[in-house]
Amino acid sequence: MRHPHPRRLATRAVLLGVAASLALTACGSDDAGSDNNNDNDNDNASAETELSDDPVTLRFTWWGSDERHQRTQDVIDLFEAEYPHITVRGEFKDWNGYWDSLATTVAANDAPDIIQMDELYLASYAERGALLDLGTVDGHLDTSGFDENALATGVVEGGQYALPVGLSAYSFVVNVDLLEEYGFDLPDDDTWSWDDLKEIGGEISEASGGAVTGVQSWGFDAGGVNIWARQAGASVYDDDGNVVIPPEVLADYWTYLSDLAEEGIAPDASTTIERSTAGLDQSGTATNNSVFATWWNTQLSSLTAASGSELQLLKLPGEADATAPGAYYKPSMYWSISARTDHPNEAALFVDFLANSEEAGGVLLTDRGVPANENVRSAIAGELTDTDTAALQYIDEITVGETPRVTPNGGSGIEAILGRYTEQVLFGQITPEDAAESFIQELQSEIDAA
């Protein structure tokens, strides 16, 4: 049986003892009642960290596919076998219905105890007090297996309101078969630049006679603009959640994408927009119609299965000459605990099992991304497919910069706003400069109104 972490409990006990001692000193030569009160305080603090001896039922909600549901239920079964007095009831939905349901239950003070959380909504729930600061239950939740940059992705206003489940990172996926077919070598992704991408992409488009494009355009997700801003030494948000990306940096981003389309390096605007709203299976990468494209590294397995080609992950262009590293860890999702749970210790124990148990990791594998816990990552390395192994190695090999601020409350619509302006720029309906000014103003207004 797994037990609460003795080192953390011991540390907490020492701190409580010091606090009690200081309080007693401040009172001077108090009467015996102070000693009794002090003992009571310690007893209460200890009780707050103890697991219940009575049966406990936890509710756990997540979104995902049928396969994820089965894997998650298998892990629940393992947990319940180890802690027979705790029952975990799963509540799962697809992505589209998940957030409406969560908002409704939180508003009704009926939120599940354990919540699968997404980066776009983390600040919104944490800042309104709906989530538990996981630092308050560290007696039952060990985070020592997590990189500091990974943990930082779950911090809001100084509190650890979420624990990253899996990590992903922005990457370029290259179709090696197409590259060989048209006689090109793999670029050196330790040194290549955005100009290099343009050059080889244009040459491939020309060599194919229009059969494929060298690049599949992007510009519809927050990852791409985050990378561009970070390499310029900027960021999309400041620490207070204000939109601070310089308009000239954003205009350069859209100018680059517009050039790709106009010069035939990427598909025309209509094709790009059509692909952006279709599923992964209809992308230029999956259909073998584009050689280079931006993807999160964890999508390599799905893309490979869809394309039937040899695909490979490349580091981002421009990193060698960037003002600061553009790469960063993006949690695939988080574990959070409701602030209203009646069983914070048991909920923390279950999250600890999900996050730290190598047995659970062996069931979940990479279904929720490359495990953020480094120990679990090592433990499952031998059980992964070749493409999952490549995704794992990519995480270990890239150099990441400081963790970006989580999306502020009100900013969850950033990708819809981005996509709309990218579409207008590609169709020539607005200049990159005007799009940048309008985007910043519109996103800031959404945040201010939240």
Query: What's the residue count for the chain?
Result: 450
Pairing of strands 86-93, 56-63: parallel
Instruction: Specify the pLDDT at position 8.
Output: 38
* Exposed/middle/buried for residue 21 (C-beta within 10 Å: 0-12, 13-18, 19+): exposed
What's the angle, vertex CA 165, arms to CA 163 and CA 169, rounded to 5?
110
Residues 6+ apart with CB under 8 A from 337: 113, 114, 115, 131, 132, 134, 137, 344, 347, 348, 351
Task: Enumerate the H helices of 189-268 as residue ranges.
Answer: 194-207, 222-231, 247-262
Residue from 389, 400, 373 nearest 316 by CA: 400
Say how far apart CA 131 and CA 138 lie, in whole Å.
15
Residue pLDDT, tens place only, 37-51: 444 444 444 446 789
H helix intervals, 50-94: 66-82
CA distance 275 to 320: 30
Question: What is the rounded CA–CA span in Å between residue 392 and residue 39?
Answer: 50
Pairing assessment for the beta strands 163-168 and 370-371 based on DSSP bridges: antiparallel
pLDDT of residue 50: 87
Sign of the alpha-carbon torsion through 15, 16, 17, 19: positive
The predicted pLDDT at position 31 comes to 37
Instruction: Please tell me the predicted confidence (pLDDT) of residue 280.
Output: 87
Residue 15, pLDDT > 80, answer no
Dump strand ranges (E) for 253-326: 290-296, 311-314
| Segment 104-137, tens digit of pLDDT | 999 999 999 999 999 989 999 999 999 999 999 9
* 71 three-class SS: helix
Return d(Cα 406, Cα 296) in angstroms, integer: 18
Question: Phi and psi dihedrals of 329, rounded to 5?
Answer: -80, 130
pLDDT single digits (tens) 183-227: 999 999 999 999 999 999 999 999 999 999 999 999 999 999 999
Q: Which domains are seen in the chain, by residue range?
A: 56-165+331-392 (3.40.190.10), 169-328+404-449 (3.40.190.10)
pLDDT per residue over 360-405, tens digit each? 999 999 889 889 999 999 999 999 999 999 999 999 899 999 889 9
Q: Tokens for 256, please give them.
A: 């680059």
Instruction: Report the half-sphere exposure of 139 (CA within 13 A, side-chain side).
Output: 18
Q: Which of 84, 54, 82, 60 is nearest to 72 (CA)?
A: 60
Residue 11 has pLDDT above 70, yes or no: no
pLDDT of residue 347 exceeding 60: yes
242-287 pLDDT tens trace = 999 999 999 999 999 999 999 999 999 999 999 988 888 899 999 9
222: which 2 tokens? Answer: 């927050």
Predicted confidence at residue 14, as pLDDT, reads: 32
The full DSSP string for 364-382 is HTTTTSEESBHHHHHHHGG
In angstroms, the CA 313 to CA 344 distance is 40
How far apart, in whole angstroms, are the C-alpha atoms of residue 182 and residue 204? Answer: 7
Q: Which residues are 166's β-sheet partners?
A: 333, 371
Distance from C-alpha of 288 to C-alpha of 310, rounded to nearest angstrom: 10
Cα 23 from Cα 276, distance rounded (Å): 61
Residue 392 forms beta bridges with which residues? none
Would you put residue 101 in left (φ > 0), alpha (ψ -120 to 50) or beta?
Answer: alpha
Distances (CA, A) of 50 to 119, 195, 313, 355, 422: 31, 59, 46, 20, 53
The reported pLDDT for the residue numbered 105 is: 96
SS3 label, residue 173: strand
Q: What is the mean pLDDT of residues 286-308?
A: 94
